[in-house]
């Protein structure tokens, strides 16, 4: 037996629509989830919506419960919070996070959902996938007590990294972005702010998350000798020029890639990393990463005009 649900599909360059989908009955090891909220990950989902995933990355960039193939049509997304309507007794009626696209109801293995702690509002829990990326980035970066650090790029991931760094002992953190409006977000997160021309230099570590060539150049220019840039940006099919001349070699600088699809710590599991991200979201400062809310029915239109931070999607009782 199946039941009817609705989902957002990306159907062409910049185009999307809501389509009916069939949801099977859950098996003994599955859960049926009714979505409460989802979140739009602006950088990656915009690239997917506009066909920016290069052919040699189609397999790597598949979302866990994606349907369809790149470029289109494809059902894509990975920030979903819902309530379990059928499933094991320990999950029944509990809010859970899942790496699932924008869909009103869905069935997945029970192992694919993570319970939302009672200290975390479901509205904020949509950021779990973003904070998970930030956790993995800092496992890669390994900041030390007293490090001088900047985050270049004040989007969702960059702001999440800055928020986590703000709690490191003795670490001075500055968020660097070309948009002066990010200053208020930085203040809410408890970190400093500067434009690229005014950013503090001589740094031990820079996390780059602007997805812009100029941002990467800025990040390298802020490093002290022996410093490291941790690159979080996903450029899709775009090629970027990395300034490896000038002082790159003489200062012995490092550029290190970080991607959430692989665990930066072999002693942890994916489930442990996600549970940690959700625990960290008990901090109300992360509400600064939400840039408004859209009803599920209005999501296709909203995808054409996304803010730089997270657009939360609300699902009504009738969806």
186 falls within a domain:
yes
List, in order, residues 6 or more apart from 254 with CB less than 8 Å away. Answer: 227, 228, 229
Do 240 and 136 share a structural domain? Answer: yes
Do 228 and 148 share a structural domain? Answer: yes
264 falls within a domain:
no
With a cut of 70, say whether residue 261 has pLDDT above it. Answer: yes
Do 207 and 167 share a structural domain? Answer: yes
Range of the domain at 54: 2-127+281-314
Domain end call among 257, 273, 302: 257
Hey, what are 162's tokens? 């800055």
pLDDT (tens digit per residue) in 41-91: 888 899 899 998 989 889 988 999 999 999 999 999 999 999 999 999 999
Do 135 and 253 share a structural domain? Answer: yes
Hey, what are 190's tokens? 């408890």
Q: 């979903």: which residue's tokens? A: 80
Give the least confident one: 37-41, 198-202, 214-218, 247-251. Answer: 247-251
* Domain total in the chain: 2
Hey, what are 230's tokens? 């941790």
Label residue 173 by pLDDT band (50, 70, 90): very high
276 falls within a domain:
no
Question: What's the whole-model pTM score?
Answer: 0.94
**CATH number of the domain that residue 294 is part of:** 3.90.180.10
Do 308 and 219 share a structural domain? Answer: no
Do 91 and 52 share a structural domain? Answer: yes
Q: How far apart are CA 227 and CA 40, in angstroms?
A: 33
Do 285 and 233 share a structural domain? Answer: no
Provide the CA 249 distance to its chain's centre, in angstroms. Answer: 32
User: Collapsing DSSP states into helix, strand and coil, what is residue 231?
Assistant: strand
Do 116 and 20 share a structural domain? Answer: yes
pLDDT (tens digit per residue) in 85-136: 999 999 999 999 999 999 999 999 999 999 999 999 999 999 999 999 999 9
């Amino acid at each position: 037996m199946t039941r009817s649900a609705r989902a957002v599909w990306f159907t062409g360059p910049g185009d999307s629509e809501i389509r009916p989908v069939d949801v099977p009955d859950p098996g003994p090891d599955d859960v049926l989830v009714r979505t409460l909220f989802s979140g739009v990950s602006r950088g990656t989902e915009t690239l997917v919506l506009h066909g920016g995933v290069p052919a040699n990355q189609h397999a790597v960039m598949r979302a866990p419960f994606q349907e369809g193939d790149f470029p289109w049509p494809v059902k894509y997304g990975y920030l979903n919070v819902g309530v379990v309507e059928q499933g094991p007794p320990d999950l029944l009626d509990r809010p859970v996070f899942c790496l699932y696209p924008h869909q009103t109801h869905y069935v997945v293995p029970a192992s694919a959902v993570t319970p939302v702690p009672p200290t975390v509002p479901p509205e904020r829990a949509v950021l779990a996938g973003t904070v998970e990326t930030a956790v993995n980035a800092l496992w890669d970066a390994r900041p030390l007590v007293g490090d001088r650090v900047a985050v270049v790029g004040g989007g969702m991931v960059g702001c999440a990294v800055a928020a986590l760094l703000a709690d490191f002992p003795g670490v001075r953190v500055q968020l660097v972005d070309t948009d002066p409006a990010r200053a208020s977000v930085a203040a809410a997160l408890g970190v400093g702010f500067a434009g690229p021309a005014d950013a503090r230099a001589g740094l031990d570590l820079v996390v780059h998350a602007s997805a812009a060539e100029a941002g990467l150049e800025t990040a390298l220019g802020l490093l002290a000798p022996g410093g490291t840039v941790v690159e979080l940006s996903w450029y899709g099919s775009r090629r970027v020029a990395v300034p490896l001349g000038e002082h790159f070699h003489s200062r012995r600088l490092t550029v290190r890639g970080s991607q959430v699809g692989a665990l930066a710590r072999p002693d942890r599991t994916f489930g442990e990393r996600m549970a940690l991200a959700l625990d960290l979201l008990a901090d109300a400062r992360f509400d600064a990463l939400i840039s408004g809310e859209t009803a599920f029915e209005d999501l296709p239109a909203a995808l054409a005009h996304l803010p730089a931070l997270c657009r939360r999607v609300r699902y009504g009782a009738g969806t």
